[in-house]
Amino acid sequence: MTNTRIEHDAFGPVSIPAGRYWGAQTQRALAVFGRGREQFPACLVRAFGQQKLACLQANVRLGAVSTDLSNVIERAAQELIDGKFDDHFPLSVWQTGSGTQTNMNANEVIANRANELLGNERGCKSPVHPNDHVNRSQSSNDSFPTVMHLTTLLELRTRLLPALTKLRVELKEKATVWCDVLKIGRTHLMDAVPMTQGQVFDCFAQQITHGIARIEACMPRLRMLPQGGTAVGTGLNAPAGFDLAFCEALTHITGERFEANPCKFEGMGTHDALVEVSGALNVLAVSLTKIANDIRLLGSGPRCGLGELQVPDDGLTSSIMPGKRNPTIAEVLVQAAMQVIGNHTTITLAGASSTFELNVAKPVLIQNLLQSIDVLSDSVNIFSEKLIKGLDVNRARLASNVENSLLMATVLNPLLGYDRVAQITQKAAQEGLSPKDAAVALGFMTAEQYDQQVKPETMI
């Protein structure tokens, strides 16, 4: 049994590994671009199955593809959606800027599988042809950006937004549980006036709430698809109403509402909507960095740091210092955020690579965007489950900090005036006194008067 088969395209015969479902154009692309180590994730491959299935249903509805072939093409597309052909997309991300080779890869896999289901050999292109049937009423120029929108929306919906929602719940729970735990706030890294640990975590939860809202705000533009624009946006070779029929079919297939972009030129020639999503992820990365780093610092110690938070033990330690515990999970989240911030620069440049009627940096744009969603989804889930959920406070350390804080005397400003309070804090700092003892020593008030005025729980 031979290990290869021969397929033909417009340029002649091509030798293809016998066990593979891709065809001549994919094999030629492999010779040009190579496999590479960076390939599109499975979610994009499966989204192509959904896009091809919706195109088929629209074509059948409008009479552009015979119903005699529709069932077998639909079966093949569904198998692609189900992940049965993930290994049959060998191409590198580093291909033509329109993503044409990956679109052709999808056409060939579906066509070969459909013909096989009919009892024919792979590569025969009959009765199902990769271009004439699977790619009917389409171009890579409208199909690939449609898949970009589809994959991004589905990954946000099914992975990142649930992860963020879970994190917000955990942060809100800590904010509630610690609503009466007093601590000293810090500005410029220095001691400030009192607040509660609950207020710290309520701030974190609010950051995540805003992050979710920013992502949700991008959704209307993601739902607008350029499918039906074909080569340049005019809809050449697509039947009238194809864009509307496609969106109706895709909505039914995915359960997510999609609508036709009324300006296909904008949807194909630019990717502003995807740059917008990346911008929301960039802000989210900044928020997560603040949250993770604050927790790292507040948990520093256990004896020579701030030591206000007790970070749960992850079972890992130092290679040289026995028993040392590090905030590894927080460091994971910070590194993921760094990747997202870097990806946003690439995505911004890719989005700016729109010339005339086509953006020619689609593969690198969607690769980086999907990576951003992926690393954030995974790291946020780990952060919620393995750090925030088990986080605790060091109540003794917090109480000691509050009792000895110099800036507790700030509440005396209306009574004594700024200058006298400054004398209190200066004397306390220089002589190692509490603010109370310093105020009494200066003769500004009695101990009883100080206690009546300086009550931390009333200052928050």
Active site residues: 188, 318
Q: What are phi and psi of 459, to 5 degrees?
A: -100, 5
Place of tokens 């094999």: 27
Q: Give one word for 432, left, alpha or beta, with left for phi > 0 and alpha for psi -120 to 50.
A: left
CB 229 within 8 A of CB 267: yes
CB 399 within 8 A of CB 320: no
**Distance (Å, whole) CA 238 – CA 393:** 63
Q: Which two tokens stand for residue 408?
A: 């507790």
Q: What are phi and psi of 240, to 5 degrees?
A: -55, 135
**Distance (Å, whole) CA 117 – CA 309:** 61
Q: Cβ atoms within 10 A of the Cβ of 456, count?
A: 19
Q: What are phi and psi of 14, to 5 degrees?
A: -140, 135
- Report long-range pairs for 238-241 (Cβ below 8 Å, ≥24 apart): 238/137, 238/138, 239/59, 239/62, 239/63, 239/64, 239/137, 240/62, 241/62
